[in-house]
Structure 1
């Protein structure tokens, strides 16, 4: 048995703060009791602040982000509806695949993995769609497989410039509560997230933020839905209840998560994630390696996908780090399997925690014969954190 804590640096599930763990440690309770709405009604309202939305509704389903994708599609679209999306990583691919399985007419733009949403191509497609056949535009805000963040606001501008009424749907699973997101300002109709990343909780709740407009589309949408029905949820959510047994411990955890995020301040949370991510990027540069994200404009503040040198297998980096040092890194997925390993730097994270990951990665790479000088990446990150400390939030995430 290995002494000490296992080092978890995958891009989700993320590290669990003790305060949130204890918040979930509650006896089983009656989800139909008269007291239950004291937990749920404020929760439905308060979580809107994390999405920066003032109206609409946030649906909480027992499930993962994938369930949220399905809820977004089935409540607002009909078989044969045209959907515009782009594929540039495993998760944008999977959402596109779900569209096909639901019989939607998909215009999926293939983009090199390492880039993000092709806003200019979206703008061209939208401007050319004079009959407004496109009913929804999908955006993966943060592609976890490649460490790429896309510009949601720019997609909204493209929609507005074309005078196009298509709904804007966003996968925010690995961005919400970590990277700035503005549902109202960016005119987002649906945003999907989950509890296991920026919300710092175990997997188990699919979080779907829907605008009033998106909710109104349920009267037109003809895709079959039962479990993910907005209508069924709304009927009971208004009084603080659910159409089936909710994941009550996670609801208590989500309450504590929102409180923790707001105590730090959302803008401070975003700044902390950026500062930690910059340190990781400086370490990667010092190692002489490159990110999968091809340009700085695509750099993600929640996960870095790092390309290994030619002739090396990134899967062995992940395996060796786990077995030799008790360090969990993210593996490369699909097209980048064996080519990248990923460091998740989101959620309950501070400088010393990420330095642990960087040191473990350095030792692993040197063990595997990569030409990396001992301590060079750690030193680069260390200097960044020391020099930027004065501008850091006074409220810090702690291990």
Structure 2
């Protein structure tokens, strides 16, 4: 192995680059997880997470990936064999349905076009047909990481309310939280699921379930689905005092404290504006290369990541390999049926304009050396946009 100078560009839509401030916060001695200092820290974390999610009743923190919290959401709020309605418009939506099926729930799938967001009208139409009220939860991914398509969660909630159906509303916010506005209480989301390694700017290892009072009531009153590690009841009892029912990942919680402070200092509006600005610059670069954004709805384009199509008969995987080997940059692969057909550029988390321009330069050079058909105007288009856009101080 030889030393490579400079830094690796981790330009995935997750995991995202971890700020030095977060790493430094994690480089501390582990403290007693039953002691008063730890309890005070954890209570502050719960409050900080509630601000980021948009004022849910509580946010559970699990030592897991976000996939673990898919499971936690299902087994804590539903009873064995309950029917759930899943909107499938991407790889991760499909995987959440697989989890529910493996756990013994009756999964009904509304299949959407992966290049478009969830359709509130179709969801409402299916709920209106459910006169026996058998559907106990609707599952939707806010920002589908595999496709770069964002769904309108507020519109889906309004559509559900229009039917009068009492179903729970569960939302995957894994790649949207802290990159795209999400207002859990205002939008009537009962359970939202997230992980630490994207907009929250942490290493992988923490999963979050943000829950409404309604979801907690369903948890307490429903016939219990088997659960142990992910049980909300014991977590709630311990969380009230700032503790956990098992040994927590203390150093990751130190990092979470730092990342929440960074988000608070930047301010939510500025954070969202930064992501919007970087995403638009990326889309202009894609258009300048003569390539196509996988998302076909201009109102649903992602602020977290852009999924880029290569030409018919071309393979995105040798291009990704060339970019990694020559320029030390990781781009996202195509997932599931999109393997080889797309590559993904992440622009969420601790990323600024110059970091993005470096990433886009790597893409443009990689397109050239790998022989992907393109034009050379992408980098210039992104630079022109970013130079003309409001600076963070003006936003």
Scaled to the shorter chain, the TM-score interval is over 0.9
3-state DSSP of counterpart to 2:348: coil
Q: CA deviation at 1:116?
A: 1.9
Match of residue 201 from structure 1: 202
- 1:150-161 mapped onto 2 (5 Å cutoff): 150-161=151-162
| Contact 2:334 2:344 (C-alpha < 8 Å) held by counterparts | yes
- On the 8 A contact 2:319/2:372 being kept in 1, the answer is no
Q: Which one is further off, 28-37 or 85-94?
A: 28-37
Instruction: Please say if 1:101 is aligned against 2:102.
Output: yes
Query: Displacement of 1:221 after TM fit?
Result: 4.0
Find the aligned partners of 1:238 and 1:69 in 2 and give their Cα distance.
23
Q: How many residues align?
A: 392
Tell me the TM-score normalised to structure 2 length. Answer: 0.97
After TM superposition, the structure 1 = structure 2 runs for residues 60-209 of structure 1, keeping only pairs within 5 Å, are 60-209=61-210
State the 1:282 CA deviation: 0.4
- The 5 A counterparts of 1:247-286 are 247-286=249-288
Structure 2, unmatched stretches of 5+, are none
- The corresponding residue for 1:393 is 392
Match of 2:293 among 285, 291, 294: 291
Question: Deviation string for 1:326-384 (max 9, x for gaps)?
Answer: 0100000111000000000000011110111111111111112233344x111000111
Which of 218-227 and 271-280 deviates more?
218-227
TM-score (normalizing by structure 1): 0.96
Q: Deviations over 1:272-312 (max 9, x none)?
A: 10010000000001111101111212210101010001221
> Is the 2:150–2:300 contact (alpha carbons within 8 Å) kept by the matching residues of 1?
yes
Contact 1:24/1:250 (8 A) holds in 2: yes
Give the conservation status (yes or no) of the 8 Å contact 2:288–2:375: no
- Displacement of 1:393: 2.2
C-alpha contact (below 8 Å) 1:102/1:223 kept by paired residues = no
User: Secondary structure at 1:39's aligned position in 2?
Assistant: helix
CA contact under 8 A between 1:264 and 1:395: conserved in structure 2? Answer: no
Moved over 3 A (4+): none
Which among 220, 243, 246 is matched to residue 244 of structure 1?
246
CA distance in 1, matches of 2:14, 2:37: 33
Q: Deviations over 1:191-237 (max 9, x none)?
A: 10111000000001001101111111122142111000000101111
Name the structure 2 match of 1:59. Answer: 60
Asked if 1 retains the 8 angstrom alpha-carbon contact of 2:263 and 2:271, the reply is yes
Following the alignment from structure 2 to structure 1, what is the Cα–Cα distance between the partners of residues 10 and 282?
15
